[in-house]
Structure 1
Amino acid sequence: MSTAPHPSAAGLSPATVVVSAGRPAREQGGHINPSVPLNSTYVSRGVVSPDELSYARGDNDAWHPFEEALAALEGGADGGAAVDGGAVAPATAILFSSGMAAVAAAFSLVPDGGTLVLPRHAYQAGMVLARQISERHGVTLRYVDIADTDAVVAALDGADLLLVESPTNPMLEVADLPAVLGAARAAGVRSVVDNTFATPLGQRPLEHGADVVLHSVTKYLAGHSDVVLGALVTRDAALAATLREHRTLHGAIAGPFETWLALRGLRTLALRFERAQASAVELARRLAEHPEVAEVRHPSLPGDPGHERAKAQMNGFGAIIGVRPRPRPGAGDAAVTGTGPAAVDRADAVVDAVRLWLPATSLGGVESMLERRRRWGTEAHTVPEDLLRLSVGIEDVEDLWRDLDQALRA
């Protein structure tokens, strides 16, 4: 079934675009939702044209509605703001079988022997992949504090690709996107921004000069903890073709049912994210005053290092919170800094004590989740061992607070 842009999409708010984009063409008696096309191959003869459907691994109509909707969101319903005063090209979204498949495609842009600049704190599986690429393909890795603009700019010298997470996972550092992406463009370095935490409702990195935007669709975009998908978005047609080719040759393709579920989840993104974000702001405020909490990270807090930057460049502060429980009396100096068995036991006890929050490793779903991040051996060692990452869902904020409060006091 063909899709068509909403006839009045230009100028609509993102909250409307998530509902209206990627719909079937308006025809009398037609469908209002895309169907689930189940085809591995298509009728095809003669020379195959570039935009022709022939074999579903290369392209298929199951992906198109979601890709059109995400492109409209990240690119802006009316094309978005021009970069460097030039004409704005339409955004293209490319759906992948997982967020890691999208990360792998982005990293493939670094040539053998090249240089990749990446945050010291970022999604840990992506960091493992970066180290493997470094070992197998001679790629130099330059780790930076993504919130330190001068350090990022200095690291761009002779680099091939800059990966940005903002806010970072799990430390919630906020990058100066206009500055670091502008510097990358000036240095001729391609840039990829992981926008999973902020979503296109919170920020649109293409408008700040990013070459590619990356999403784990599994998280907020799909939003119901029932699919695993990823996506890349770019305005560069040649770059889009390169990334599509990577998807085809590596077989990193999405299934039709998962894609349909992701699009269905996307329709409520604005409502879900608004609720989760508002609850996160309130919970962060209360946690910062809690006697059993040593440290809270959330950009909404006036004392948070990323507050002013997030306030200037984001629409809201996101729904992820970092919390370190206060160590028990007599736990020792190591526990105060978030290290050692006492600190780990204290954080694990909080996870064990919650009854409404779900102990789980993902985020961005309708349900609130938490975990101690350093339980993963591949997490960065600069992350405190007792750091709890909280993904705030859409439950009643008072119920969430009562559960957190009793777990911290247990």
Structure 2
Amino acid sequence: MSDTSSTHPDDDSVGRTPGSRPHAGLQPSTRAVALGRPARTPGAPVNVPVTLTSTYLADGAVTYARVSNPTWEALEEVLGSLEGGPALTFSSGMAAIAAVVGLVPVGGVVVVPRHVYNGTTGLLAEREAAGALTVRRVEAEDLGGIVEACDGADLLILESPTNPMMELTDVVGVMRGLRTRYGVGRPVVLCDNTFATPVAQQPLRWGVDVVVHSATKYLAGHSDTVLGALVVAPERDDLLGRLRTYRTLHGAIPGPMEAWLVLRGVRTLHLRVERATATAELLVDRLEEHPAVERVRYPGFGAMVSIEVVGGADAAEAVCAAVQLWTHSTSLGGVESQIERRRRHPLEVASVPVNLLRLSVGIEDPQDLWADLSAALG
């Protein structure tokens, strides 16, 4: 799975379906609205339909719906343009991650930060216990340690910021270090961009090979669907082909209705992220002064915040039980603000503090959110 990396041009034509309009020079927020639309012919609908079919008439480009669907393709066009490479949609974020891990050869090595999404942790632990691969765990902020751990590795998984500890990795520095140390022998690099979204960063521009999203979260934005996506660096046609084949053979495909819902959500992604980020920054300033908060973890961008509360696990659970406006739930990235204690989940690693609460800041009025949260903390 090891291979080379290189930078790619700043070209928003990648990820586009055949025959679509160029939209060259448009800002990402505009492309999020304009791409993935039907051709502009008189009387045509402005939105792509939900294509509900299991098969296609013979002698066309596609014969069976496990291979492709027009509703997926519209979403993939938009996501590809936002991230900077061709996109593939999957049945869930975990299905997308599993597709990349599935390309690691038997006996291969995967390098991953200690604190990442616990689904990723659980998948790697399961594969390691089965003897399929070896996992090397590193610290997300240790650039040198990450690069050194990649000796002989097949896959490096990154999250920046990490879930739920909000640690940042110098992805640019890691990619530079890998090229310098290993050259063509460096591992494939996968970066989870779910927290940051393409509004805040596009890791493919830093030389990463594949970006993964739990599109369930910010891309969809309304807590009403489950879907995942991979976006591949445009020069990695070999990797794109293998991942597409994996999706087809393993059946990890999204439903057309789910793809349509995510596409609708992406139309307002920039507005939602900008509003939620502004509110998160206001809350962070106030939380840092609150006597019931021991520590605030905020990476400096985006709408995800973690706090450690005074009084341990019981106090943290009490805050979750006391909120009236915030939603006590396990997901993130929706229009509603969500809160949970992460160590209540068995897969969460033991180094995550028991009193840590992960906050997903939504788009409600900031003063209403603060009044509810501060009352719960009190």
Q: Same fold (TM over 0.5)?
A: yes
| 1:123 equivalenced with 2:123 (yes/no) | no
- Can you give the 5+ residue segments of structure 1 that lack an aligned partner in the other structure? 76-90, 301-316, 328-342
Q: Which runs of structure 2 are paired with 1:352-371 in the superposition (5 Å)? A: 352-371=321-340
1:108-163 deviation per Cα after TM superposition (whole angstroms, max 9, x unaligned): 12111010000100110111110111122431101111111011011111111100
Q: Quick check: 2:310–2:355 contact (8 Å CA) kept in 1?
A: no
Counterparts of 2:18 and 2:174, CA distance in 1:
36
Q: Quick check: 2:216–2:223 contact (8 Å CA) kept in 1?
A: yes
Q: Quick check: 1:3–1:65 contact (8 Å CA) kept in 2?
A: no
Structure 1 partner of 2:166: 172
- Greater RCO structure (CA 8 Å; 6+ sep): 2
Counterparts of 1:227 and 1:4, CA distance in 2:
29
Relative to 1, partners in 2 of residues 1:3 and 1:223: Cα closer, same or farther, differing over 3 Å? farther
Counterparts of 1:208 and 1:173, CA distance in 2:
18
Partner SS state of residue 105, structure 2: coil
Structure 1 partner of 2:9: none
Q: Quick check: 1:37–1:61 contact (8 Å CA) kept in 2?
A: yes
Q: Which runs of structure 2 are paired with 1:296-311 in the superposition (5 Å)? A: 296-300=296-300
Q: Quick check: 1:344–1:386 contact (8 Å CA) kept in 2?
A: yes
Q: Which runs of structure 2 are paired with 1:237-316 in the superposition (5 Å)? A: 237-300=237-300
Match of 2:29 among 8, 15, 21: 15
Counterparts of 1:184 and 1:109, CA distance in 2:
20
Structure 2 partner of 1:380: 349
Q: Which runs of structure 2 are paired with 1:151-230 in the superposition (5 Å)? A: 151-186=145-180, 187=182, 188-230=186-228
Q: Which runs of structure 2 are paired with 1:47-126 in the superposition (5 Å)? A: 52-75=61-84, 91-126=85-120
Structure 1 position 223, deviation (Å): 0.4
- Can you give the 5+ residue segments of structure 2 that lack an aligned partner in the other structure? 1-16
Structure 1 partner of 2:10: none
Partner SS state of residue 62, structure 1: helix
Structure 1 partner of 2:127: 133
Structure 2 partner of 1:325: 309
Structure 1 position 5, deviation (Å): 3.3
| 1:144 equivalenced with 2:177 (yes/no) | no
Counterparts of 1:5 and 1:41, CA distance in 2:
24
Counterparts of 1:35 and 1:185, CA distance in 2:
44
Task: Extract structure 1 runs of 4+ deviating beyond 4 A.
Answer: none
Structure 1 position 293, deviation (Å): 0.8
Structure 2 partner of 1:398: 367
Partner SS state of residue 322, structure 1: strand
Structure 1 position 179, deviation (Å): 1.1
Paired residue total = 356
Relative to 1, partners in 2 of residues 1:38 and 1:401: Cα closer, same or farther, differing over 3 Å? same
1:200-224 deviation per Cα after TM superposition (whole angstroms, max 9, x unaligned): 1110000000000000000000000
Give the aligned CA root-mean-square deviation in angstroms. 1.3
Structure 2 partner of 1:26: 40
1:22-53 deviation per Cα after TM superposition (whole angstroms, max 9, x unaligned): 111121221211011111000114xx8xxx11
Question: What TM-score, normalized by structure 2, do the two folds share?
Answer: 0.92
